[in-house]
Amino acid sequence: MTMATFFHLTLMLLLSLNARGLSREEKVNAVIFQSHFDILCLQETKWDISKEKEMSHKWKGKMFSSTSSTQAGGVAIFMREGLFNNCHLIHKDKQGKLIIIDFFYNNKSCRLINIHAPNIDTHRKKFFIGLRQWIVTNCIIIGDFNITLTKSDISNNCTFSEDYSRNTLFDIITQNSLIDIWRLFHPGKKQFTRKQVILGKLKQSRLDLCLISSSLVPEVSSCLIRDNVWSDHSFLQVEMGRGIRNGGLWCLNAALLQDEAYRDPETLEHLFLHCPGCTLFWNKIHQIINNISTTDDNNWDSIRLFGITSSLGHLTKTQFNLCNIILSLARHTIYISRNLQLYDNKKVDRWKLFSGLLQNHLKTVNSISKGLCENMFGPLIKCVYFQGWSF
């Protein structure tokens, strides 16, 4: 598969908007040609083939589009000229609901999926099920999902009703370690992306989402909702490149695995279970994860976990590196579990989450470190079990 090459760009501004039709020249100019973005994802363009060709001719950068024969839908991706070369179209449907491209960002191969989910819940569930096959490690799914995830995503005049597709979407989020990036940055906030007046009442909801792979979260510096006069939907704006201050998810340093001790399961088990310093460290990490994962405190600086290693005392290099691996994993677990905790009535099985994340990430690192950590998973899980971690 040929991927795009991402050259010199450090920052990337990603915008998404359900435009509710883009035919009038004034609206096209305002939304596309006068907006500041590096990548623009549009839903409900309502273009026919001739309009699609016209826009492709006018736009100087890369453009990908999926139109519907009924002109009822339509999704499109615009990429700023000079920033992306040879972007690769992976898939587009015939209903104008889905378009997928691959590109490189900060030396990472990434996948961008622009969606406009169906209005009917049963159709939407089927749509989400079909989406699973396209999700990869570094993935950004953005667009109009036509569903709210929690009661916090609707205004007082709206009803949070049962929906066939919601649990399907939750499963996709948890199974693929996806993060609702706006909610991550605004855990206690109520803000909406769609506003309607129905029977004289203002109804508002957050239907437009950006779900990002946990591996890409360290790249994100902000996520905002921006009002506009051209649609009853708001812009969803994601800025990437700066990263979260003093934060970020787990990126295991493969160099730590060069230590011969990590190649022997018996030695690992001894380090995990019988080293006093590591035992103390496990207990502290356990306490921090429990406190932070279950609290309603919106101070996200508390999840940094910095400075904890200063209380470990005298450890060997192997033991100290091992504690740093555990620390990095703990920070990763906290991000994911806090994100999931924000979903109303969605209980998080932290033990399953922790062990699943650990296994998946060690498999990933193992593939790039020539098998250096293939024996780490069993001893780690055994240590967690014997330390009495119940989450």
What is the three-state SS of 117-130? CCCCHHHHHHHHHH
CA 163 to chain centre: 22
Give me the tens of pLDDT residue by residue for the chain, a chain 391 residues long: 333 433 334 589 999 999 988 888 888 888 898 888 999 999 999 998 999 999 999 998 999 999 987 777 899 999 988 777 678 999 999 999 999 999 988 778 899 999 999 999 999 999 999 999 999 989 999 999 999 988 888 888 888 888 889 989 988 887 887 888 898 788 678 899 998 888 888 889 999 999 998 778 878 889 999 988 889 899 999 999 865 444 444 444 445 445 555 555 555 555 555 555 555 555 655 565 555 445 444 443 333 444 444 445 555 666 666 666 666 555 555 555 555 555 544 555 555 555 565 565 555 555 544 454 555 555 555 555 444 444 4
Q: What pLDDT does residue 370 have?
A: 46
Claim: this prediction has a pTM higher than 0.75: no
Q: What pLDDT does residue 177 have?
A: 78
Binding residues for Mg(2+): 18, 44, 144, 146, 232-233
Angle between helices 265-274 and 377-386 (to 10 degrees): 30
Q: State the Cα–Cα distance between residues 289 and 38, nearest whole angstrom.
A: 37
Residue labelled with tokens 């990590």: 262
Q: State the Cα–Cα distance between residues 138 and 292, nearest whole angstrom.
A: 26
Binding residues: 18, 44, 144, 146, 232-233
Q: What pLDDT does residue 104 have?
A: 85
Q: State the Cα–Cα distance between residues 370 and 313, nearest whole angstrom.
A: 32
CB-based burial, 298-332: b 16+ in 10 Å, e otherwise: eebeebebeeeeeebeebeebbbbbbebbbbbbbb
Q: State the Cα–Cα distance between residues 80 and 64, nearest whole angstrom.
A: 12
Nearest in space to 258 (alpha carbons), one of 338, 317, 306, 310? 317
Q: 304, 246 in Cβ contact below 8 A?
A: yes
Q: State the Cα–Cα distance between residues 157 and 245, nearest whole angstrom.
A: 37
Q: What pLDDT does residue 324 have?
A: 62
Nearest in space to 336 (alpha carbons), one of 319, 362, 314, 356? 356
Q: What pLDDT does residue 244 have?
A: 47
Q: Hey, which CATH number is domain 5-240, 3.60.10.10, 3.40.50.300, 3.40.50.2300, 3.30.428.10?
A: 3.60.10.10
Quickly list DSSP for 226-264: E--SS-SBPEEEEEESS--TT-------GGGGGSGGGG-
Q: What pLDDT does residue 202 have?
A: 87
Q: 114, 43 in Cβ contact below 8 A?
A: yes
Token duo for residue 70: 């009924």
In the chain, CATH 3.60.10.10 covers: 5-240
